[in-house]
Structure 1
Amino acid sequence: MRLLVTGAAGLLGRELLRSAAYEVVPAYHSQPVPGGVRLDVRDRGNVREVIRAVRPDGIIHTAYRQDDWLTTADGAVNVALESPGARLVFVSTDAVFGPRTTPYAEHELPCPTTPYGAAKAAAETAIRAVARRAVIARTSLIVGSDGTSEEEQRVRRLTAGEPGAFYTENIRCPVHVSDLASALLELLVGEVDGIAHVAGPQALSRLELGRLLAIRDGLDPHALPSEPGPPSEIRLDSRRTQELLKTRLRPAGEFLSR
């Protein structure tokens, strides 16, 4: 199998390149990746050229920008429209939902409350219409081990005294980047179509997650400033997808244990 990974310079893209057992072609936009091809997903003509040149059997689309509708929404649709012969896995987000106290299952309709969530929800809807065999893999906060993930960097900045705070009422289901990459590669070659939830089984506040990261990295967890923040509890119920996977999606308390 020849696999095209978009957003290959990002945290998830790099992990997919490292762990995939296939011939992988990395696609990047602004930060070059060795052996990669430059791809502007906002330009449908460029998407067509790259896909015709690479001729992938599968595509894992990780590219996005939170503040850019053209990249996040239109870009994902361009990839879906120009890859009719390839198996597509589109990485979506828990932000397609709004806050509530009970978990969201795969069959529930998006109800975003942020522009980023709305862009991902729009992409999901269009992809389901034009690429019926595509997998839409919703995930949550992605955490790594090398200090490059957003949450890891925030912990280091705030324990060093930079301004900011971790919210106690912002609750998500963090997933380790290696677990997520392994699950996406399984979904790529599996029989699952449609929506899949691929998040960790443990719900944590941003403060709880930050403290676990601080302890893992030998920092003072009590040095992290906190405040309630706007209430935002969004949990994905990933049990159905987990039953179909060999990859075990570990709770954050486990993968961040020293």
Structure 2
Amino acid sequence: MILVTGASSSPGFKILARLRAEGRDVLGVYNQHPVESSVRWDLARDPVGILEQYKPDAVIHAAALGDVDKCEEDPALCHRINAVVTREIARWCARRGARLVYISTDYVFPGDRGSYKEEDPPKPINYYGLTKLLGEEAVLAAGGAVVRVAWIYGLGPGRQNFGRVVVERLSRGEEVRAVADQWGSPTLNTLIGEAAAKLLAADYSGVLHAAGPRLSRYEFALAIAEAFGLSKDLVKPIKMADLSFKAPRPRDSSLDSSRAEKMLGIPFSDIRYALAIFKREWEAGSHASGQL
């Protein structure tokens, strides 16, 4: 049996959906937002009780405190959820011989140059990135797999994401302000689900980047407008300096996912491919909530 934590998060939900579509024996775990055919559990209170109860053969750990500014405001909670919980899950998997796949982030890098490869040394500049890096170290010590993703967008439950906001606002004829001097790797959650399922089957251990192409948020918004047939004129460039954050953000945390493309056969670098999937899901209204 496969256990997926963070089933109500954007990546966790799509991982769960993918595994269920493949007919896998899988259980989702959520904390606050219900997901169909999943169980509620507070990992921050008890990281391994759910594992002892169901004794999975594999765990995909997508649960995290992903609000970067909240992590900066409440470092104790951030450390508990992102570092301590991950460490305890990793230790349990190591003791039981269970496979472990951990969903991590581009924010483990400082953002000084971008196009980071798996072997590049991490150096986070905010507390969120630091705690995710601590989680990575625990997973790697346990022989698990770390999958770094970035700028996640798509349909499903979880926090609002930039991709959805762009489509919603442009569809209403509203202006979208998008940062033109910050670069990342926008990653469709559906492709994360596919990558996690394939990686689990491949019995991979180590770090793998599974993220989209290098784009600024402005370039990404323009690509969405083009894919959906919406007005590009409503997309307006702004600068990072125009925004106010509690936590510092990397200027260019884009990831090189060429290794994952070859290994998994998923065209992460093709934004048109990802946005075509996003548009089909949008038009179908699929996975717009916690219903699988």
Question: TM-score of the superposition, structure 2-length normalised?
Answer: 0.78
Matched, 1:58 2:91: no
Please name the residue that 1:144 is paired with.
154
Q: Which amino acid is 2:255 matched to?
A: L
Q: 2:256 aligns with which of 224, 230, 237?
A: 237
| 8 Å Cα contact 1:97-1:113 kept in structure 2 | yes
Number of the residue aligned with 2:9: 10
Q: Distance in 1 between matches of 2:62 and 2:36?
A: 18
Deviation (angstroms), 1:56: 0.7
Structure 1, 150-159 or 90-99: larger mean CA deviation: 150-159
Cross-structure match for 2:48 = 48
8 Å Cα contact 1:42-1:78 kept in structure 2: no
Q: Do the aligned partners of 2:100 and 2:139 also contact (CA within 8 Å) in 1?
A: no
1:179 and 1:207 map into 2 onto residues whose CA distance is: 22
1 CA distance for matches of 2:236 and 2:173?
9
AA matched with 2:124: P
Alpha carbons of structure 1 residues 227 and 147: separation in structure 2 relative to 1, 3 Å = farther
User: Whole-Å Cα distance in 2 between the matches of residues 35 and 151 of structure 1?
Assistant: 28
Q: Is the 8 A contact 2:222 2:232 kept in 1?
A: yes
- Shift in Å, 1:138: 0.6
Greater RCO, 1 or 2 (C-alpha within 8 Å, sep 6+): 2
For residues 1-258 of structure 1, what are the structure 2 equivalents within 5 Å?
A: 2-20=1-19, 21=22, 22-43=24-45, 46-66=46-66, 67-68=70-71, 69=78, 70-84=80-94, 85=96, 86-129=98-141, 131=142, 133-144=143-154, 150-156=161-167, 159=170, 165-200=177-212, 202-229=213-240, 232-257=251-276
Tell me by how many angstroms 1:181 deviates.
1.1
In 2, Cα distance between equivalents of 1:235 and 1:121: 16
Q: Contact 1:216 / 1:256 at 8 angstroms: preserved in 2?
A: yes
Q: Could you tell me which amino acid in structure 2 is paired with residue 77 of structure 1?
A: R
Amino acid at match of 2:185: C
Q: How much has 1:251 moved relative to structure 2?
A: 1.6
CA contact (8 A) 2:2 2:27 kept: yes
- The DSSP-based 3-state class of the residue aligned with 2:101 is strand
Cα distance 1:146–1:125, how it changes in 2: closer, same or farther (>3 A)? closer
Deviation string, structure 1 residues 76-99 (Cα, Å, up to 9, x no partner): 222212333210000000110011
In 2 relative to 1, CA 195–212 (structure 1 residues): closer, same or farther, beyond 3 Å?
A: same
Structure with the bigger percentage of helix? 2
The 3 A distance-change label for structure 1 pair 11 and 146 is: closer
Q: Deviations over 1:167-204 (max 9, x none)?
A: 1011112222222211111111214211111112x211
Unaligned runs of 5+ in 2: 72-77, 242-249, 280-292
State the 1:224 CA deviation: 2.6
C-alpha displacement at 1:255, in angstroms? 2.3
Q: Is the partner of 1:210 in helix, strand or coil?
A: helix
Change (3 A) 1:82 1:162: farther
AA of the residue aligned to 2:4: V
Identity %: 27
Quote the offset at 1:146 in angstroms. 6.7
Deviations for 1:37-96, whole angstroms, at most 9, x for unmatched residues?
A: 2222212xx332210111111111111113341222222222212333210000000110
Structure 1 residues 163 and 126, CA gap change in structure 2 (3 angstroms):
farther
Residues 179, 250 of structure 1: 8 Å contact kept = no
Question: What SS does structure 1 have at the residue aligned with 2:47?
Answer: helix
1:141-179 CA-to-partner distances (Å, cap 9, x unmatched) read 222257985012331565458897311011112222222
